[in-house]
Amino acid sequence: MAKVLAVVGSPRRGGNTDILLSHVVEGAASAGAEVETIRLGELCIRECDGCHACWRGRPCSKDDDMRAIYEKIAACEILILGTPVYWYGPTALMKAFIDRFVYFNCEANRSMVRGKKVAVAVVLEETHEETWRPVVEFFQKSLAYLEMDLAGTIVAPGVGEKGAIRKETQRLDEAHRLGVKLVAYS
Ligand SMILES: Cc1cc2nc3c(=O)[nH]c(=O)nc-3n(C[C@H](O)[C@H](O)[C@H](O)COP(=O)(O)O)c2cc1C
């Protein structure tokens, strides 16, 4: 059974990112995956300060929740990352989370993520592609650098208020189909 780890990068519990990811997750579960969802807003994930203890075979010098998440990332086959756009970038929560992927940027740890399938979900209030494109590229470039496999992207523009995405039924169906596809072709 494929293991899926979904990571909600919005601090707003029950918000649009949470709802969108829940549909991807339901799709993955319907295709037989075992799914776990974590919410970065409920965890303590500090900044990477580039000490590179991890590159010397030592645990991350930040003794926080990321230590356990490294293990969850290593153990899953599929990672689903969701963030709203915050000031034309990902949230600070998601940025800190991805910064900590420096851990995987050494030969000893790279095998934990090399080839791992990832899907990315982005929500935003504006509707211009110029607003969401850099956020998608942030993921594309960072994941490619780590030799991860960005297997699917879903963008939901035009959703600002909490829960506004519930009206976007086609987008939610697309999210469900993405979840099914991620597992069916894994
Ligand atoms: C601090 C902050 C910054 C934001 N910056 C942008 C932005 O630059 N562009 C945009 O389209 N929406 C922006 N938004 C709106 C959110 O992307 C939007 O409300 C989204 O649906 C929130 O997702 P959530 O419900 O999962 O938290 C911002 C919201 C907040 C709170």
Query: What would the pLDDT profile of 140-161 be if each residue is shown by its tens digit?
Result: 999 999 999 999 999 999 999 9
Predicted pLDDT at 32: 97
Spatial CA neighbour of 88 closest among 45, 126, 41: 126
Give residue 74's pLDDT. Answer: 98
Q: Residue 81 pairs with which residues in a beta bridge?
A: 7, 120
Looking at residue 1, its pLDDT comes to 87
Atom of ligand 1 nearest to the CA of 87: 8
| Domains of the chain (ranges, CATH numbers) | 3-184 (3.40.50.360)
From 40, 86, 131, the mutation candidate for ligand 1 (largest count of ligand atoms within 8 A of CB) is: 86
Q: Give me 101's structure tokens.
A: 């992927």
Q: How confident is the model at residue 167 (pLDDT cuts 50, 70, 90)?
A: very high
Tens-place pLDDT, residues 50-67:
999 999 999 999 999 999
DSSP the chain: --EEEEEE--SSTTSHHHHHHHHHHHHHHHTT-EEEEEEGGGS--PPP----GGGGTPPPSS-STHHHHHHHHHH-SEEEEEEE-BTTB--HHHHHHHHGGGGGSSHHHHTTTTT-EEEEEEE-S---HHHHHHHHHHHHHHHHHTT-EEEEEEEE-S--STTGGGG-HHHHHHHHHHHHHHHHT-
7 phi/psi in degrees, rounded to 5 = -125, 115
Q: Is the pLDDT of residue 185 over 90?
A: no
Mean of pLDDT over the chain: 97
CA dihedral 92, 93, 96, 98 (to 10 degrees): -110
When pLDDT is cut at 50, 70 and 90, the band that residue 20 belongs to is very high
Measured in angstroms, how far is the CA atom of residue 124 from the centroid of ligand 1?
A: 5
Question: pTM of the predicted model, to two decimals?
Answer: 0.98
Residue 9 beta carbon below 6 angstroms from any ligand 1 atom? no
Question: Could you tell me the distance, in angstroms and rounded to a whole number, from the CA of residue 180 to the centre of ligand 1?
Answer: 27
